[in-house]
Amino acid sequence: MERKKAAFAGSWYPGKAGECQAQIDSFLADKSGALKGNFKAGIVPHAGWYFSGSIACRVIASLAREGVDAVVLFGMHMHPGSRSCILAGGAVETPLGDISVHGELAKALAQRCAMKKESPSSFPGENTIELQLPFVKHFFPGASIVPVGVPPSKDAGGIGRAAVAAAETLGLDIAVIGSTDMTHYGAGFGFTPAGTGEKAHEWVKNTNDKAGVDALLAMDADAVVAQAEKNHNLCCAGAAAAAVAAAERMGAVRSVSLDYATSYEKNPDSSFVGIAASFLRNNLTRRP
Please tell me the total count of domains within the chain: 1
- pLDDT by residue, tens only, the chain of 288 residues: 899 999 999 999 999 999 999 999 999 998 778 888 888 899 999 999 999 999 999 999 999 999 999 999 999 999 999 999 999 999 999 999 999 999 999 999 999 999 999 999 999 999 999 999 999 999 999 999 999 999 999 999 999 999 999 999 999 999 999 999 999 999 999 999 999 999 999 999 999 999 999 999 889 999 999 999 999 999 999 999 999 999 999 988 888 888 899 999 999 988 899 866 566 655 443 332
- Domain span at residue 146 reads 39-282
270 belongs to a structural domain: yes
| 20 assigned to some structural domain | no
> Percent helix, strand and coil across the chain, each rounded to 5?
40, 20, 40
Question: Are 70 and 145 a contacting pair, CB within 8 Å?
Answer: yes
The domain that holds 248 is classified in CATH as 3.40.830.10
- Integer distance in angstroms from the first to the last C-alpha of the chain? 46
Please state the pTM of the whole predicted model: 0.95
